[in-house]
Amino acid sequence: MATMQSGSQGTKAARTGAAIFDLDRTLLAGASGPIISDALRQVGLLSSSTSGIESVAFGIFNLIGETWPSMLISRQGARAARGWPVELVQEAAEIATSRLLQSVLPFALQEIEEHRAVGRKLVMATTTPADLIGPLAEALGFDDVVATRYATSSGHYDGTIDGEFVWGKGKARSVKLWAQDNRVDLDQSYAYSDSYYDVPLLSIVGNPRAVNPDPRMYAQATLRRWPIMHFDVPPGVPKFAGIEPQRLLLLLAQPQLFPWVRFGIEGVENLPSEGPAILVGNHRSYFDPLAISFLLARLGRPARFLGKKEVFDAPLVGDVVTALGGIRVDRGTGSDAPLRAAEDALAAGEMVALMPQGTIPRGPAFFNPELQGRWGAVRLAHATGAPIIPVGLWGTEQVWPRSSRFPDVTQVIRPPRVQITVGPAVELETGDADADTKLVMSAISALLPEESRSQRPPSQDDLARTYPGGVVPEDVEWASEHETDRRPGTD
């Protein structure tokens, strides 16, 4: 493609920034090698007898990243390719591209689009030979490739490298030269890599980013205060030993660790094991998010919870919620930012969880059999096409009512039962946010026990449990009307 060729065209143009991405363990979760090797075998350039050795080598690479010995072997690639027809290698590259595209991490694609939107040049900087990786860069819409180039003679590789071996300091030098030729200001540029050996590359740009860093890169990034990112989880979510915090916490969501509550869980088969989904439940208690976590533990996949800003602003707790991938909602502003963040998560194949009621209903509204919700979940579904999965929660208020600052952990003799029921995806019919929200709330209501659908006058004690601190307002009727007026809502 024309844009893939470096050169000095446009030297009179204003200097601009670039976004420079490493490939293996950065844009991709692991090595590109297995996919490329399979393609080379398909065109007859590699023997199947080497596949076992390669599997071990690539497995080590995926686990710990680049090592000096592995790169010494990689440097010999030009010699191993001596005599190969260039056309066959390019054919193999085309074969590999579709599989490589499927391996690009979801939040890497979003990062690429953000740079494209502000006009930065997109560059792939990789040790992988240019002929093998060019089609992938083109498919991703990159402007150029800085990669190792094998020298050719009469349409065949001659066993030598043309220019730099693009690795370590050689990669940094190659990117510097490319930037000079293309009038790119490296101080305005971004660079992304996982490898300690790319510290020289990240050191020459104004905005270095360590992505899925190997142990030594992690240490360097920490010492230099470089941002650390992971393209397989939302922005702001850290990982420890390759595992995100929410997955670790899901391991602790086991009934035996909570003897003061009994769980009944039904309908787990209605939860998709992969792909985007919007999980919606009724809101009765501060215990509801934990109940949902027990459900997710059964499924074995995390979800991104939308939560009110007060939780995110709380010392320590806010940092934990952010680390778990939570999406902050500032209810007073009416901002669409939370929905955009949720849309990004869904586009990346994540599951998003929210309570359409917004907050736990207070006073008589808590006992209203007709659930009223805000439009956020439906707007997300309309915008993304993700299915809405309803969840009915019952009994959580017996564990942690709104009137209490902490859950009641003393009920170990006769623990209350919390019922969690998952229904099939809601079929949205009208395209109208209000009408479809009513469908969603009806679907949730249908998952609750029969007693939830009967109107009964609450006692004073019942009312007290629905208010913070257990304080019932003097004018309950006025408070009830105010509560009804603010539900449902368009936000």
* 126: number of Cβ within 10 Å: 26
**CA-to-CA distance for 341 and 234, rounded, in angstroms?**
9
Note the pLDDT of residue 413.
94
Phi and psi torsions of 6, nearest 5°? -75, 155
Q: Tell the CATH topology of 245-485.
A: Glycerol-3-phosphate (1)-acyltransferase (3.40.1130)
**CA-to-CA distance for 184 and 178, rounded, in angstroms?**
8
Note the pLDDT of residue 85.
97
**What's the pLDDT band for 49 if we cut at 50, 70, 90?**
low
Confidence (pTM) = 0.80
- Asked if 376 and 339 touch (Cβ cutoff 8 Å), the reply is yes
Note the pLDDT of residue 54.
59
On the question of a common fold for 2-229 and 245-485, the answer reads no
* 424: number of Cβ within 10 Å: 12
Q: What is the mean pLDDT of the chain?
A: 88
**What's the pLDDT band for 397 if we cut at 50, 70, 90?**
very high
Closest C-alpha to 392, from 426, 415, 365:
426
State the pairing for strand pair 351-354/156-161: unpaired
Note the pLDDT of residue 188.
97
Note the pLDDT of residue 491.
58
For residue 10, pLDDT over 90 is answered with no
**What's the pLDDT band for 20 if we cut at 50, 70, 90?**
very high
More confident residue, 163 or 12: 163
Domain ranges of the chain: 2-229, 245-485
For residue 304, pLDDT over 90 is answered with yes
- Asked if 323 and 237 touch (Cβ cutoff 8 Å), the reply is yes
Residue 41 burial (10 A CB sphere; 0-12, 13-18, 19+): middle
**What's the pLDDT band for 338 if we cut at 50, 70, 90?**
confident
More confident residue, 121 or 431: 121
What is the arithmetic mean of pLDDT over 458-478? 84
Note the pLDDT of residue 476.
64
Phi and psi torsions of 243, nearest 5°? -120, 130
CA angle 6, 9, 11 (to 5 degrees): 115
Across 274-278, 333-337, 483-487, the highest mean pLDDT is recorded for 274-278
Note the pLDDT of residue 219.
95
Note the pLDDT of residue 9.
42
What SS3 class is residue 110? helix
What is the arithmetic mean of pLDDT over 242-262? 87
CATH of domain 2-229: 3.40.50.1000
Cβ-based neighbours of 233, under 8 Å, separated by 6 or more? 107, 239, 244, 325
Residue 174 burial (10 A CB sphere; 0-12, 13-18, 19+): buried
For residue 80, pLDDT over 50 is answered with yes
